């Protein structure tokens, strides 16, 4: 069955790989970004290459009211992917604007958007799938990225609760935890090869999670084992570690 799939934050490498994969499966794509000009090459390529409907919409996590996006869409999507994020300065405790941006983009904006979508699905009695891209950084607070990690921890907990809330309404929610991704957002960072996924691997993991109605998914299984170990390290030892 052909679906209408909404990808919020479609300029990211992961989102573009996901859009290509889902378009190749014959689904229509509704893509959002902060600039229609930046989205146009993406939607044009999908239309020509995959012969599907691909439509661009404006959405800025820091300024767009979720209801405005929903009003702009041609209807309610069958599948939603919240793919935007902001790494920022991981330890910018002296920069209030930077801390606020990290929290707003990675948590507050994502929650408000998914709340609005969930409410609309329930009102329309529409079954749907919602995917939130979180992070392994939220599994335990670490000194190297405690601002970003805390925002993602909140988002992961929110997605767990939303999944339980949506179940009675036939709405499935997926929490995706990619680990390191080789992308524009991590360009220049020294990423460990065996622990780093490509955008294509993340896209395939998302498609599989949707198809099999998974709850929480680590893109690379090794991350589940790593984070299990990290969560069990006693606090008096963990605070001395350079993680």
The answer to whether residues 5 and 203 touch, using CB atoms and an 8 Å cutoff, is: no
Residue 243 lies in a domain: no
> Given this model, what pLDDT does residue 48 score?
95
Residues with active-site annotation: 148
Domain assignment present for residue 59? The answer is yes
pTM beyond cutoff 0.85 = yes
170 falls within a domain = yes
User: Residue 170 maps to which CATH number?
Assistant: 3.40.50.720
- For residue 129, report the phi and psi dihedrals to the nearest 5 degrees: -125, 135
Query: Do residues 59 and 36 touch, judged by C-beta distance below 8 A?
Result: no
Residue 23 near residue 50, CB atoms below 8 Å: yes
CA 127 to CA 111: how far, in whole Å?
19
Total count of residues recorded for the chain: 243
In this prediction, residue 192 carries a pLDDT of 76
Total domains in the chain come to 1
Q: What is the pLDDT of residue 94?
A: 85
- Enter the tokens of residue 8: 């919020």
Predicted confidence pLDDT, tens digits, the chain (243 residues): 899 999 999 999 999 999 999 999 999 999 999 999 999 999 999 999 999 999 999 999 999 999 999 999 999 999 999 999 998 887 678 899 999 999 999 999 999 999 999 999 999 999 999 999 999 999 999 998 899 999 999 999 999 999 999 999 999 999 999 998 987 766 667 777 789 999 999 999 999 999 999 999 999 999 999 999 999 999 999 999 988
pLDDT (0 to 100) of residue 236 = 94
pLDDT at 183: 77
Range of the domain at 130: 4-238
Cβ-Cβ contacts under 8 Å for 101 (sequence gap 6 or more): 62, 86, 88
């Amino acid at each position: 069955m052909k679906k209408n799939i909404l990808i919020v934050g479609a300029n990211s490498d992961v989102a573009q790989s996901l859009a290509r994969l889902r378009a190749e499966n014959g689904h229509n794509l509704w893509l959002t970004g902060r600039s229609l000009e930046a989205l146009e090459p993406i939607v044009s390529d999908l239309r020509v290459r995959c012969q599907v409907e691909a439509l661009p919409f404006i959405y800025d996590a820091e300024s767009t009211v979720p209801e405005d996006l929903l009003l702009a869409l041609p209807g309610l999507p069958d599948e939603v992917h919240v793919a935007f994020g902001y790494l920022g300065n991981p330890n910018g405790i002296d920069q209030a604007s930077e801390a606020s941006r990290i929290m707003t983009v990675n948590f507050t904006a994502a929650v408000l958007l998914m709340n609005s979508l969930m409410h609309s699905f329930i009102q329309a009695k529409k079954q749907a799938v919602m995917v939130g891209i979180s992070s392994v950084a939220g599994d335990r607070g670490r000194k190297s990225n405690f601002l970003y990690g805390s925002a993602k921890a909140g988002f992961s907990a929110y997605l767990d609760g939303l999944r339980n809330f949506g179940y009675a309404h036939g709405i499935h929610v997926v929490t995706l935890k990619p680990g390191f991704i080789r992308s524009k957002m991590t360009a220049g960072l020294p990423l460990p090869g065996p622990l780093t996924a490509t955008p294509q691997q993340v896209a395939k993991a998302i498609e599989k999670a949707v198809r099999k109605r998974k709850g929480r998914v680590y893109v690379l299984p090794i991350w589940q084992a790593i984070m299990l170990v990290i969560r069990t390290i006693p606090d008096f030892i963990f605070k001395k570690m350079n993680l």
